[in-house]
Structure 1
Amino acid sequence: MKVIYNWLFTAVFALMASVAFSQSTVTGTVIDGDINQPLPGASVLVKGTTDGVSTDFDGKFSVNTTKTSGTLVISYMGYISQEIAFTGTSNVGKIVLKPSSVGLDEVQVIASVAVDRKTPVAVSTVKAQDIQLKLGTQEFPEVLRSTPGIYATAQGGGYGDGRVNIRGFGSENVAVMINGIPVNDMENGAVYWSNWAGLGDVTSSMQVQRGLGASKVAVPSIGGTINIVTKTTDVEEGGTISTSIANNGYLKYGMTYSTGLSKNGFAATVSASKISGDGYVDGTQFSGYNYFINLSKQFTPNHKLSFTAFGAQQEHGQHYNRSTIAEYKQTEAGPNRFNPDWGYLNGSEYNISYNYYHKPQMSLNDFWQMSDNTSLSTAVYASFGSGGGRRTRGDKLGSDAYRLGSSDQPIDFDQIVQENKDRGALGSSDIIYNSVNKHQWYGVLSTLKTTIQDKLTITGGVDGRYYIGSHYYQVDNLLGGDFYLNTTSSDNNYNQPLRVGDIFGKNYDGKVLRGGLFAQAEYEVNDSFNLFVASDVSNTTYSTVDFIKYASTDPDRKSKKVDFLGYGIKGGGNYNLDDHNNVFVNVGYFSKAPFLTNVFQSSSSTNANPDAINEKVFSAEIGYGFRSSKFSGNLNVYRTAWLDKSISGSIQRGSGNEPLYYNLTGMDAVHQGIELDFIYRVTDKFKLKGMASLGDYQWKSNVSADVYDDITDNTTTIDLYAKNLKVGNSAQTTFSVGGSYDYAPKSTIFIDYNYAGDMYADFYVTSRSKADAGQAWKAPNYALVDLGIKHSFKIGTFDAALFGRINNALNTEYISDANDVDGTAQSALVYYGLGRRYSVGLNVKF
């Protein structure tokens, strides 16, 4: 027996020694070939084994394996994978991963993508794999919720109705660009995310530049810039089939396919998906088609041409009319599901707030590498939008007497239809009409870039845009009657019977012509010190044509053209103290034109507002960054002074009624704060992320406001006492912490905690007509927890990934948006945020 024990001991020892002596450690560094910087988070796997790690913040890796020789597979979403052979313990050196898309680097020239430890701006970048992991059924901007200075909500819960604020500035003062092309509405600066609902499928990266940013377009942003860079054309042939389901009947399915780059330099990528669902909030059913196409041709090694087109044709029910907290609490559906804006007509769901729109965007990008140091990148683009939203005329649609029960029940459209039929020759008392909006938008954005002696990079270009928007009210449903008597006294068809298809109330064109020049000089003093200065000048011309109030021969039908000359200058520098620490500073001043909606007294007026003047902005920021193999962090301090701001909007007058429109100029505000964010790689598999943002956003002046009623065509002027009021509708204190764990080489589980506090209600101008009105109402603070998992596996020879997400996992009840009436919670009109939602998705690559 002793002999046997000795034999077993010897065998086990020999086996252990064999394993120990056969272990190898392979090290190296992975470089992002797009920006020549380390690529953290890249996957490094020993082929044929489960031995693998992820690169650290410096792009470095060290993987242990029992193999004495083999092949490393290095991969990262959006990049071409590489296989590197190794023998024994060794250092394989630098491994450069190239983007898997043709022309991505050219797009980034126009998009002005910031470079870490070089571009002196506060920046956060979200890669495609993070969007894929966390987006789910959320609104596209909500994926930015864990970014410093960001406040994002789904507003009323309608599909694509979300909004995002940066440092307290709304979307009209945040530049949103897709592949470097601006998409903010040319008349009012708004961004309608429902028009870009398919972006989550085709985004390569999304970069948020807070404050002045690095954007080179002629009209700068105030709060920041959101640069969305889509996929171009993949180098390798292949595609993805995807599908996902979620709560409330959510269903999405689609496919993406790339031909790969052929020998003659041609490549194509197409993507399409179908989406539908009932909506989390009652009466917010939706459906849509998302599509994307990119065609690329490389004529010579130095000359590329690509065509891109994408869009989202959609329609969805909306939750437009807000309610008080008490009214929501008393509803049967509950605060985060109740919606007063829908009911039943002939047994089917029917909405009084409903949106439909299709806004395809097309661009032709030409990239010419003129020499080793000089390149010219030009984008010619066009967009043609068409759609609208439902509205109502009449008192019954806003009355509780015409609901299927009490005030919290759906609208009984059939009762209104019957009463309209009974009115006979009197016509309909209540109707549904569409506020129709169409536009044509053409533009060119061209950038010339040259480098002198590898030190000085000079960039200059032209930014030209022409826009014409057509807006009118059109009868959509007479609800049982034969006609509706027009009650808008200013119309040229006043007191005339209107039938389905007739136009009334509003019918005008708004025209915008903008041209500008921009220039930037970037000087690399040495490997550690980088300076830049940028300037721009632009002229904006506004005009309107009113077709509903004036005869075709009336000279007042067309407005005079109104010009605004804008300019700006900004500069800054980044200094890398050593391999780990850097500091930066930027400062800028610019004067920009107000929006068309502020230049004219009302949306359809041809009388220019004599008080409309340029808005002036001064902004300064200082930042500190730290990078190491385990920890990365940023600290920013900023202050933005905003003078002579112009504001336009609407005041809700109650369910089912037309809003009042207001227009004010000369508002001053100060936005200042501190931001901190970090990433800590606890182990190769476990990563922590966090941020904290402390803001102080206040109005600093009292002004007068014009309030316009487009039913009576009356305009009244009121005094607005806003000085020292908090800027509303954006949480001024936010923080988040999240963790992710790679439980397998390509599988991840995550949890995110997001807190929002000091969110003051946006105030109605009519509620602030007295000096002693007090501070705006502050909504309760709240926190949300999100969970998710990604698991990668094989289906035959195909790579597949399964995604699962739970948003608002604790089903927290919270107020996400609020309008102040008298400074109290009792009268505030609010939206509740969405409750717990889940989604499950499957992607299969072929």
Structure 2
Amino acid sequence: MKNFKNLLIAMLMITTSTIFAQAKLTGVVADETGPLPGADVIVKGTTKGASTDFDGIFTLDVDSGSGTVEISFMGYTTQTISYNVSNGETKDLGTIVLQPSSVGLDEINIVASVAIGRKTPVAVSTIKAAEIQEKLGNQEYPEILKTTPGVYATKQGGGYGDSRINLRGFNSENIAVLINGIPVNDMENGRVYWSNWAGLSDVTSSMQVQRGLGASKVAVPSIGGTINIVTKTTDVERGGKVMASTGNDGYQKYGFTLSTGLMDNGLAATISASKTTGNGFVDGTAFEGYSYFANISKKINDAHKISFTLFGAPQEHDQRTTRVKIEDYKESDRGIRFNPDFGYKNGKEFNVRRNFYHKPQASLNHYWNITDDILLSTVAYGSLGTGGGTGLLANDNEGRAITSDIYDFSKTDYRFGLYQPINFDKIVDNNISRGDLGSNVIRRASRNDHNWYGVLSNLNANLNDNWVVSGGVDFRYYKGIHFREVEDLLGGQYYVDDSNVNNPYNRAKVGDKIAYFNEGVVLWEGLFGQLEYDDEDLSAFVSGAVSQTQYKRIDYFNYLDSDPEQETDFQNFIGFSIKGGANYNIDEHHNVFVNGGYFEKAPNFDAVFRNFRNIINEEAENQKILSFEIGYGLKLEKFRANVNLYNTEWKDRTLVKSIPEPNGENSFANLTGVNAVHQGVEFDFTYNPTEKLGFKGMVSVGNWYWKNDIRDVQLFDGNQNPVGDPINVYIKDLKVGDAAQTTASLGVNYEIIKGVKVSADYTYFDKLYADFDPEDRDKASESGVNSWQLPSFGLVDLGLRWKFNIKSLDATLNANVNNVFGTEYVSDALDGSGHNAQTAGVYYGAGRTFTVGTKIKF
């Protein structure tokens, strides 16, 4: 009994001393743009820690006495602070400003026009590197944005890098994509091919979506919005990391990063590389991709800094590009994995469609701090793209191209059976049997090489504490080299091609050009300027830009070398933009903003030259865009929310209707005055009831429709002579297809114990209409009939992150499961003749997929 009493007294003394030995540390963690929610604050040498809340605030219990805390956030240099506290004391460490972990990142943020919350008057969502690393897994790069309001992203056919993204109903042709402030949209058609940038996820510092007009000063096609990708530059700290991951269907990825850190001589270098392979969820979509990144920076003196960056992602991947009917998927024993484009050759997988491309980009940045208030940033960049995609090409005995019937499921001559893979051995045997007649069916490669060079210079000057003026120039040169070549003769001796008027009976071998060979040259000259005002409560901007786009086409196959019409003159188009906006912080909790703008952009290259020939479309007009938006923000201690209302009118969209004539030529109608309206409301929120529990969600409801019919449009032949009767196009009030007009998401993350966090995300999509070509709606009987509306669907994704130590090394384990319940859903559809599920060609989205990976820092 006495021993028990002594034990109680000892325990009481220990408990009492522990209680009185407790103290608290508080503070705010931020960067130069504002608070950093989710930063880690840990007592060095212990497992005691806390995370910052919405406002970057942390509270941490510590033992009395002295010690050191480490404050860290991905993409920033870890900072240590010593403390001394007495029993029961609460000590405020003040505001701790973390510096970017990459040299020159501040300057890149200025050049890239990165928006700042409660200051820049645009609707914006920013995803930091930490969230990308946690949630991407084996998803496509754009899919990380699927919980962003207004975004619809899919894998399309399911091939590696074949993903696409729509923003507020606009596809990539009308979404500006900038990498470190450099525009990367194709200069001829405005598209973005994400397979070219597959390695960016490993080196992204932040990815920001500016919906609507955006804050970019450069004249770019930001009708739907702007995606700003800021890569890491050179790490300030010496070290590196290695990473490896595995997943479903043979997915493997591994890579490394090494950095010298900022050395005494002002030099710093970082290199990163990775390899990704797999078989693909869809049958016959094997892939192999590499990525590399290198940055070397030199601080010459306090005024001058230079930085050289090189990155690229060479890859090859098999594809599924043929959409089939829902019934075809059901009849196939492979279900949603069914791929009509692949088969077997010599016992190995062989795909009709194979994409291969390498688009390295190099840039040299010079940052000149002329004074403390004036920064001149200039970047010279270049990209040499090479590659293309394959497909089958068939001809008759005379070398005339015909339509291959190997995709006709009613015939099984070239298949192992109905809804079965292609038997390429039969095609090979047939080509061999033809002997001197040459191959009847070959695999061709459509090449789209390019040479792209540019200079972008921006002067940013702080006039005083409130006013900033900036402006600059944007010069680009682009040459696209387009041709087809024989990629595989499939057993034959040669392929007869009569498409080149300079060589009308061409017995083409592997590597020889066939079908077409032309070049497109694009020159771009732009000027831009912006004036900004900012005080404690009010910020505003007005900006303008003017650009000249010049197009030239050179055709080596349709015109004799002696024909002066083989090369056109430059066709010039002047575009401009003017936009402005203001944000007002009513108080520390509420803010409102408004923005608006008008701009004109040049028509796409193919709209200027008809029928893929040097026939000038004299009626090609600039596309005109008028947009307005208003927004409201709420910021409380544990809850934040934003509401945006937008209205965008897209006038004179470039459309050209082509109709085959009995003589084999095409007649054309230039459809002018085609207008579309994109309007909607967006709501997003975050709620952190505790330091360990957080919620994030959004709802986006759009109303996107074609505004008017087109009446009495005259058809013309290749010589500009009117032919046939005028046509009408009936699209008034039809819903814009190809993107879900209603989207929603709800996510939750919870830190179970220190270093272990789980997350779940639910995304919902509705009001998704099949894609269709408006110019094909020429039947009055179909007036007012929308394209097929796809069934709505919802998906659940799960994630796990475990941060731990291996001796003195920091390690992270990430596990992700996407589409946990294996929901079968149609993600993409092309409308059919009946505007219903029975006639539409579709892609199914991926079923359940998973990845598990680890990263070790040293």
Task: Assess same fold via TM > 0.5.
Answer: yes
2:683 corresponding residue in structure 1:
676
What code does the residue aligned with 1:26 have?
A: L
Q: CA deviation at 1:528?
A: 0.4
What does 1:380-459 align with in structure 2 at a 5 Å threshold?
380-394=380-394, 395-399=404-408, 400-459=411-470
Q: Within 2, Cα distance between the matches of 1:339 and 1:553?
A: 46
Answering whether residue 627 of structure 2 is matched by residue 619 of structure 1, we say yes
Q: Of residues 618, 639, 645 in structure 2, which corresponds to 1:610? A: 618
Q: Within 2, Cα distance between the matches of 1:135 and 1:666?
A: 41
What does 1:606-685 align with in structure 2 at a 5 Å threshold?
606-647=614-655, 665-685=672-692
Q: Within 1, Cα distance between the matches of 2:811 and 2:717?
A: 56
Answering whether residue 581 of structure 2 is matched by residue 581 of structure 1, we say no
2:400 corresponding residue in structure 1:
none
2:218 corresponding residue in structure 1:
217
What does 1:519-534 align with in structure 2 at a 5 Å threshold?
519-524=529-534, 526-534=535-543
User: Structure 1: where are the runs of 5+ without partners?
Assistant: 652-658
Relative to structure 1, is the Cα distance of residues 478 and 369 closer, same or farther in structure 2, using a 3 angstrom cutoff? same
1:734 corresponding residue in structure 2:
743
Q: Within 2, Cα distance between the matches of 1:720 and 1:301?
A: 62
Checking the alignment, whether the CA contact within 8 Å between 2:174 and 2:221 is kept in structure 1 is no
Q: Within 2, Cα distance between the matches of 1:51 and 1:146?
A: 32
Answering whether residue 699 of structure 2 is matched by residue 692 of structure 1, we say yes
2:399 corresponding residue in structure 1:
none
1:367-420 per-position Cα deviation (integer Å, ceiling 9, x unaligned): 011101111011110000000111212225334423443232111111111112
What code does the residue aligned with 2:318 have?
A: G
What SS does the corresponding residue of 1:300 show, helix, strand or coil?
Answer: coil
Q: Of residues 840, 853, 857 in structure 2, which corresponds to 1:828? A: 840
1:95 corresponding residue in structure 2:
96
What does 1:323-402 align with in structure 2 at a 5 Å threshold?
323-335=324-336, 337-394=337-394, 395-399=404-408, 400-402=411-413
Relative to structure 1, is the Cα distance of residues 766 and 58 closer, same or farther in structure 2, using a 3 angstrom cutoff? closer
2:802 corresponding residue in structure 1:
791
Answering whether residue 749 of structure 2 is matched by residue 748 of structure 1, we say no
Q: Of residues 33, 44, 47 in structure 1, which corresponds to 2:44? A: 47
Across the aligned residues of Structure 1 and Structure 2, the Cα RMSD in angstroms comes to 2.2
Q: CA deviation at 1:302?
A: 2.0
Q: Report the more deviating stretch, 715-724 or 618-627.
A: 715-724
What SS does the corresponding residue of 2:18 show, helix, strand or coil?
Answer: helix
Q: Of residues 597, 600, 610 in structure 1, which corresponds to 2:609? A: 600
Q: Within 1, Cα distance between the matches of 2:675 and 2:100?
A: 45
Answering whether residue 839 of structure 2 is matched by residue 838 of structure 1, we say no
Relative to structure 1, is the Cα distance of residues 709 and 776 closer, same or farther in structure 2, using a 3 angstrom cutoff? farther
Q: Within 1, Cα distance between the matches of 2:817 and 2:440?
A: 46
Q: CA deviation at 1:482?
A: 1.9
Answering whether residue 520 of structure 2 is matched by residue 513 of structure 1, we say no
Q: Within 2, Cα distance between the matches of 1:69 and 1:842?
A: 35
What SS does the corresponding residue of 1:11 show, helix, strand or coil?
Answer: helix
Q: Within 2, Cα distance between the matches of 1:225 and 1:414?
A: 47
Q: CA deviation at 1:795?
A: 1.9
Q: Within 2, Cα distance between the matches of 1:518 and 1:754?
A: 39
Q: Within 2, Cα distance between the matches of 1:679 and 1:546?
A: 55
1:125 corresponding residue in structure 2:
126
What SS does the corresponding residue of 1:500 show, helix, strand or coil?
Answer: coil
2:476 corresponding residue in structure 1:
465
What code does the residue aligned with 1:31 have?
A: A
What SS does the corresponding residue of 2:274 show, helix, strand or coil?
Answer: strand
Q: Report the more deviating stretch, 10-19 or 211-220.
A: 10-19
Q: Within 1, Cα distance between the matches of 2:407 and 2:227?
A: 39
What code does the residue aligned with 1:423 have?
A: R
What SS does the corresponding residue of 1:397 show, helix, strand or coil?
Answer: coil
Q: Within 2, Cα distance between the matches of 1:62 and 1:154?
A: 43
Q: Across the two proteins, how many residue pairs are aligned to each other?
A: 829
Q: Within 2, Cα distance between the matches of 1:61 and 1:82?
A: 15
Q: CA deviation at 1:551?
A: 1.2
1:654 corresponding residue in structure 2:
none
Q: CA deviation at 1:229?
A: 0.3
What code does the residue aligned with 1:479 have?
A: L
Q: Within 1, Cα distance between the matches of 2:413 and 2:478?
A: 42
Q: Within 2, Cα distance between the matches of 1:566 and 1:737?
A: 40
1:490-518 per-position Cα deviation (integer Å, ceiling 9, x unaligned): 74444543332222221100010011100
Q: Within 2, Cα distance between the matches of 1:355 and 1:719?
A: 38
What code does the residue aligned with 2:674 have?
A: M
Q: Within 1, Cα distance between the matches of 2:715 and 2:847?
A: 36
What code does the residue aligned with 1:433 have?
A: R
Checking the alignment, whether the CA contact within 8 Å between 1:733 and 1:756 is kept in structure 2 is yes
What does 1:71-82 align with in structure 2 at a 5 Å threshold?
71-82=68-79
What SS does the corresponding residue of 1:556 show, helix, strand or coil?
Answer: helix
Q: CA deviation at 1:31?
A: 1.8
What SS does the corresponding residue of 2:557 show, helix, strand or coil?
Answer: coil
1:570 corresponding residue in structure 2:
579
What SS does the corresponding residue of 2:281 show, helix, strand or coil?
Answer: coil
Answering whether residue 812 of structure 2 is matched by residue 811 of structure 1, we say no
Q: Report the more deviating stretch, 742-751 or 353-362.
A: 742-751
Checking the alignment, whether the CA contact within 8 Å between 2:657 and 2:775 is kept in structure 1 is no
Q: CA deviation at 1:485?
A: 2.6
Q: Within 2, Cα distance between the matches of 1:277 and 1:556?
A: 48
Relative to structure 1, is the Cα distance of residues 258 and 663 closer, same or farther in structure 2, using a 3 angstrom cutoff? farther
User: Structure 2: where are the runs of 5+ without partners?
Assistant: 395-403, 660-665
Q: Within 1, Cα distance between the matches of 2:751 and 2:776?
A: 52
What code does the residue aligned with 1:453 have?
A: N
Q: Report the more deviating stretch, 105-114 or 701-710.
A: 701-710
What code does the residue aligned with 1:723 have?
A: K
Q: CA deviation at 1:346?
A: 1.5
| TM-score (norm. length: structure 1) | 0.95
Q: Within 1, Cα distance between the matches of 2:757 and 2:538?
A: 38
Q: CA deviation at 1:648?
A: 7.2
Checking the alignment, whether the CA contact within 8 Å between 2:501 and 2:560 is kept in structure 1 is no
Q: Of residues 569, 577, 582 in structure 2, which corresponds to 1:560? A: 569
Checking the alignment, whether the CA contact within 8 Å between 2:558 and 2:613 is kept in structure 1 is no
Q: CA deviation at 1:40?
A: 1.4
What SS does the corresponding residue of 1:804 show, helix, strand or coil?
Answer: strand
Q: Percent identity?
A: 52
Checking the alignment, whether the CA contact within 8 Å between 1:668 and 1:701 is kept in structure 2 is yes
1:430-455 per-position Cα deviation (integer Å, ceiling 9, x unaligned): 11111011100011111101111211
Q: Within 2, Cα distance between the matches of 1:174 and 1:703?
A: 26
Relative to structure 1, is the Cα distance of residues 504 and 661 closer, same or farther in structure 2, using a 3 angstrom cutoff? farther
Q: Within 1, Cα distance between the matches of 2:609 and 2:714?
A: 11
Checking the alignment, whether the CA contact within 8 Å between 1:403 and 1:409 is kept in structure 2 is no
Answering whether residue 163 of structure 2 is matched by residue 162 of structure 1, we say yes
Checking the alignment, whether the CA contact within 8 Å between 2:533 and 2:541 is kept in structure 1 is yes
Q: Within 1, Cα distance between the matches of 2:486 and 2:467?
A: 60
Checking the alignment, whether the CA contact within 8 Å between 2:502 and 2:561 is kept in structure 1 is no
Relative to structure 1, is the Cα distance of residues 662 and 580 closer, same or farther in structure 2, using a 3 angstrom cutoff? farther
Checking the alignment, whether the CA contact within 8 Å between 1:389 and 1:436 is kept in structure 2 is yes
| TM-score (norm. length: structure 2) | 0.94
Q: Within 2, Cα distance between the matches of 1:285 and 1:739?
A: 34
Q: CA deviation at 1:8?
A: 3.4
Checking the alignment, whether the CA contact within 8 Å between 1:734 and 1:754 is kept in structure 2 is yes
